[in-house]
Amino acid sequence: MASLRQLPATVVVLGFVSFCNDLASEMVTPLIPILLAAVLGAGPVVLGLVEGVADMVSAFLRLWSGRHSDMLGGRRKGLTLAGYLLSNLVRPLMGLAASWPQIVALRAIDRVGKGIRSAPRDALVADATPVAIRGLAYGFHRAMDNGGAMGGALLAAAVLAWTPLSLTQIILASAIPGFAGVLLVLLGVREARRPAPARTMELPARPAWAALSPAMRAYMLVLALFTFARASETFVVLRGHQMGMGVVELLLMWSGLSFAKSLSAWLGGGWADRYGHRVLVMYGWLAHGAAFAGLALVGSPAGLWLAALGYGLLTGAAEGAERAAVGEMAAPPERGTAFGWYNMVLGLAAIPAGLLFGAVWQAFGAAAAFAMAAALAWLSAALMNGLVLRRAARARS
């Protein structure tokens, strides 16, 4: 397995950027279902709306920003910096929200920043990394991302437990690590200064779906279905809140889940390089279904702790492989566009996925919602095998 010392400096710096940003984000995100349920009087459908709108608002921006970075000849740092800056200007303001529509609006603007930065950042990683260790690079990035999520939840729990600060003050304080990440992008990320090559001038002005390869289109369609199984992890927090778990315990559980995802993402990157990016995606989705089946069966806080840790271990391994598969199938001059489509597909499916999960929860209970997600994950894995892996095998033969 390749060594982490082989990773390019750009990848390492972006990993620490992600750590700082998620440290800030996860001081806020696990508190959103608590704010909605305990303070603002909203339920699972509203939570699904908040998380769905947050991702869908940024969907078209993800496609535009990835495409635009290609049209700039692969110069992607400016868009990455702008996206991180916007999110970290807006996210702390959630602590001042007085109603759930304000939470929806602020969360959506936060995700506009994510939409601007996601595709260019993912393409920066692919641009800087040799294909033989690209799974490791994305695995490292996802490990740092989840490590920041663990740190943010632990920090919020410690502040709540040992200081007189309120939820509002903790959310406002999230600006500090967030802007540390912005400074890292500004000062630490280097990319080659190069003019737009002639190849980019041949790209159509609109990033047409038909311009993607058949294998990429099949992958994107299956990924859209899988997004309906990828319910927001804030629903795990809501489940604990309904069981009577306190805020500090919920934050500790969130940090444990994030640690488990960080560990498996780190390992999964190397496995993806060894066994194949798309193969690991399929097995990762099977594991994702098993994790949600476990969440469907729990009936106590202790059981939820075990299921949440199992969820983190089972779902983290394929996170980097999903992105590495996009980088593998996309030609370098169109890599930003491919990552734009990848992120857009995730975003477009987010609102119906969040609303469906929340509606099933409200109508039939949490167990039914998690069981539905498990079934969709297993169906997606079967389609990944039939439509993507077997087609790739036939193309090689």
pLDDT at 25 over 50: yes
Q: How far apart, in whole angstroms, are the C-alpha atoms of residue 110 and residue 94? A: 10
Burial of 338 (0-12, 13-18, 19+ CB in 10 A): buried
The answer to whether the CB of 310 falls within 8 A of the CB of 41 is no
The residue ranking higher by pLDDT, 97 or 145, is: 145
112-126, 222-236, 332-346: lowest mean pLDDT where? 332-346
Residue 42: the pLDDT is 59
Domain spanning 9-188+212-396: CATH 2.60.120.260: no
Q: Band of the pLDDT at 392, cuts 50, 70, 90? A: low
Q: Each residue of 100-122: b (16+ CB within 10 Å) or e? A: beebbbbbbbbbbbbbbbbbbbb
Residue among 375, 371, 370, 367 nearest 299 (CA): 367
Task: Say whether pTM exceeds 0.75.
Answer: no
Q: How far apart, in whole angstroms, are the C-alpha atoms of residue 102 and residue 229? A: 27
The residue ranking higher by pLDDT, 240 or 53, is: 240
Residue 11 tokens, joined: 């990848």
Mean pLDDT of 95-116: 81
The answer to whether the CB of 114 falls within 8 A of the CB of 29 is no
Domain limits, the chain: 9-188+212-396
pLDDT, tens digit (0-9, with 9 covering 90-100), for 280-314: 889 989 998 999 999 999 989 999 999 999 988 88
Q: How far apart, in whole angstroms, are the C-alpha atoms of residue 333 and residue 188? A: 24
pLDDT at 203 over 60: no
Burial of 194 (0-12, 13-18, 19+ CB in 10 A): exposed
Residue 296: the pLDDT is 93
The number of angstroms, rounded, from the C-alpha of 72 to the middle of its chain's C-alpha atoms is: 25
pLDDT at 3 over 70: no
Residue 1: the pLDDT is 42
pLDDT, tens digit (0-9, with 9 covering 90-100), for 42-81: 556 666 666 666 666 676 777 788 878 888 877 889 999 9
Mean pLDDT of 184-197: 74
Q: How far apart, in whole angstroms, are the C-alpha atoms of residue 287 and residue 171? A: 33
Q: Band of the pLDDT at 85, cuts 50, 70, 90? A: very high
Mean pLDDT of 192-207: 49
Looking up tokens 């476990």 gives 294
pLDDT at 227 over 80: yes
Residue 390: the pLDDT is 75
